[in-house]
């Protein structure tokens, strides 16, 4: 938008008409003071400023405007009838103006200048846009690099912990074998097995991440009974967490066509999180239902919950809620993999949570997931 500032109404009207005829948006002010008020409120590309005005003159207005951040990109053309001397023109430039036109105004020249300033403005606006996009990109890549470093250090630690345990149990095993203490041998073998399972899960998750990155996560879809799958998952999770009562409500009256092992992986992830992030509680509720041609599974816990502004991030790669991360082991990739599996089945994932009260993670997929969306 262009602002014309002139104390003579006829000048204002005639200039406005010409510029509007050339499709420029025009605003007017009949004094320096009014112009300043308008510049504070609106963003102008160009100000055409009469020099001789009662009260604030054009130079004073230009000087004041040069201090406004809103008018940083605004060009100024001074219009003057009398003061065409060099000293006035110099003053016009030094107070922030970009050009100087003497009255009577040659409309063709003025239009040419206005068009040129507009083009310059558009170009510099584009440059600023490109510059800020570049800065954003640079910042993003930094951030990504830091996240990766952080992830490698957490992943190494997470892998080392079960490995060290296994090493310890194997040493203990050696001793109990020498002593011929079979019950202790069995106990240590079981413990080592548990740690190896943990290691296996971690490595499988890491492999899944690289499969997702390289587009090699493949699905093996067939018909299966989701009710039976849920019961067996509940039994397995209950065995390793006997203090938790995992209840299931709802049912799916027909078989589901999907990748059973991958769907199991998602439900196990939701369930293990529901237990991990709910210390001191003993209840987890699973609900399954059919809505139209979709099946919905939700896992509700009564644990630590998630703050509203963090809920949208939990499905992001490597994301862990910072405030609680030190209290719970994890790599921050389980939910990312789950979301990807569900998305590739044509479904959606989500979470409802109240901080301090608990969370409900859910997903829905088509009962018959035919298409694989990438």
β-strand partners of 256: 224
CB of 201 to ligand ADP, least distance (A): 10
Q: Which range touches ligand ADP (CB under 6 A), out of 8-16, 92-100, 177-185, 320-328?
A: 320-328
Rounded Cα–Cα distance for residues 276 and 288 (Å): 22
**Crossing angle for the helix pair 32-41 and 58-66, nearest 10 degrees?**
20
Q: Considering just the CA atoms, what is the radius of gyration of the chain in Å? A: 35
Q: Which residue's CB is nearer to ligand ADP, number 336 or number 363?
A: 336
Decide: is 324 part of the binding site for ligand ADP (CB under 6 A). Answer: yes
Long-range CB contact pairs, 7-11, < 8 A, 24+: 7/31, 7/50, 7/53, 7/54, 8/50, 11/50
Helical spans, DSSP H, in 42-181:
58-66, 86-94, 107-179
Separation of alpha carbons 143 and 288, rounded Å: 39
For residue 332, state whether it binds ligand ADP (rule: CB under 6 A).
yes
Question: Nearest distance from residue 216's CB to ligand ADP, in Å?
Answer: 20
Q: Which two tokens stand for residue 242?
A: 């006997």
Q: At what angle do helices 182-213 and 334-344 cross, to 10 degrees?
A: 60
| Residue nearer to ligand ADP on the CB measure, 34 or 201 | 201
Stretches 49-57, 98-106, 300-308, 341-349: which one binds ligand ADP (CB under 6 A)? 300-308
Q: Residue 306, interface with ligand ADP (CB under 6 A)? A: yes
Minimal distance, residue 359 CB to ligand ADP, in Å: 4
Q: Which stretch binds ligand ADP (CB under 6 A): 149-157, 173-181, 232-240, 325-333?
A: 325-333
Give whichever of 32 and 332 is closer to ligand ADP, judged by the CB atom.
Answer: 332
Q: Which is nearer to ligand ADP, 78 or 336 (CB)?
A: 336
Beta carbon of residue 307, minimum distance to ligand ADP (angstroms, whole number): 10
| Euclidean distance between CA atoms 17 and 65, whole angstroms | 25
Q: Is 342 in the site for ligand ADP (CB under 6 A)?
A: no
| 159 interacts with ligand ADP by CB under 6 A | no
As measured in angstroms, the least distance from the Cβ of 269 to ligand ADP is 6
Size of the site for ligand ADP (CB under 6 A): 21
Which of 277, 297, 300, 349: binder of ligand ADP (CB under 6 A)?
277
Query: Crossing angle of helices 58-66/86-94, nearest 10°?
Result: 20
**Do strands 46-50 and 75-80 pair parallel, antiparallel, or not at all (unpaired)?**
parallel
* 352-357 LR contacts (CB < 8 Å, sep 24+): 353/305, 353/306, 353/311, 354/305, 355/304, 355/305, 355/306, 355/307, 355/308, 356/304, 356/305, 357/302, 357/305
Q: Which of 39, 230, 335, 341 binds ligand ADP (CB under 6 A)?
A: 335
Residue with nearest beta carbon to ligand ADP: 330
From 7-15, 68-76, 77-85, 267-275, give the range in contact with ligand ADP by CB under 6 A.
267-275
- Cβ neighbours of residue 317 under 8 Å, at least 6 residues apart? 209, 332, 333, 336
Binding site for ligand ADP (CB under 6 A): 269, 273-274, 277, 301, 303-304, 306, 314, 319-321, 324, 330-336, 359
């Amino acid at each position: 938008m262009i602002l014309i500032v002139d104390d003579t109404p006829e000048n204002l009207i005639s200039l406005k008409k010409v510029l509007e005829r050339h499709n420029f948006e025009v605003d007017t002010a009949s004094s320096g003071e009014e112009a300043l008020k308008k510049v504070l409120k609106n963003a102008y590309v160009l100000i055409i400023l009469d020099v001789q005005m009662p009260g604030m003159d054009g130079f004073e207005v230009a000087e004041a405007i040069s201090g406004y951040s809103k008018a940083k990109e605004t060009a100024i053309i001074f219009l003057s009838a009398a003061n065409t001397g060099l000293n006035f023109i110099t003053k016009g430039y030094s107070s922030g103006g970009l050009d100087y036109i003497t009255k009577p105004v040659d409309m063709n020249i003025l239009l040419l200048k206005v068009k040129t300033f507009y083009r310059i403005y558009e170009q510099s606006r584009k440059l600023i846009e490109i510059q800020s996009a570049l800065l954003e990109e640079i910042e993003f890549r930094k951030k990504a690099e830091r996240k990766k470093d952080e992830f490698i250090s957490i992943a190494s630690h997470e892998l080392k912990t079960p490995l060290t345990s296994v090493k310890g149990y194997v040493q203990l095993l050696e001793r109990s074998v020498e002593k011929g203490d079979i019950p202790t041998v069995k106990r240590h073998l079981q413990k080592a097995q548990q740690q190896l399972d943990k290691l296996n899960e971690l490595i499988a998750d890491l492999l899944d991440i690289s499969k997702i990155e390289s587009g090699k996560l493949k699905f093996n879809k067939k018909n299966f009974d989701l009710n039976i799958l849920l019961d067996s998952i509940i039994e397995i999770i209950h065995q390793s967490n006997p203090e938790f009562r995992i209840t299931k409500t709802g049912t799916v009256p027909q078989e589901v066509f999907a990748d059973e092992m991958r769907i199991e992986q998602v439900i196990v992830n939701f369930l293990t999180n529901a237990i991990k992030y709910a210390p001191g509680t003993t209840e987890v509720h699973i609900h399954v239902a059919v809505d139209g041609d979709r099946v919905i599974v939700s896992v509700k816990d009564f644990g630590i919950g998630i703050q509203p502004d963090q809920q949208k991030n939990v499905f992001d790669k490597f994301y862990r809620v910072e405030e609680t991360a030190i209290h719970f082991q994890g790599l921050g990739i389980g939910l990312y993999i789950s979301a990807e599996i569900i998305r590739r089945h044509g479904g959606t994932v989500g979470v409802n949570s109240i901080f301090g009260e608990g969370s409900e993670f859910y997903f829905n997929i088509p009962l018959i997931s035919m298409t694989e969306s990438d």
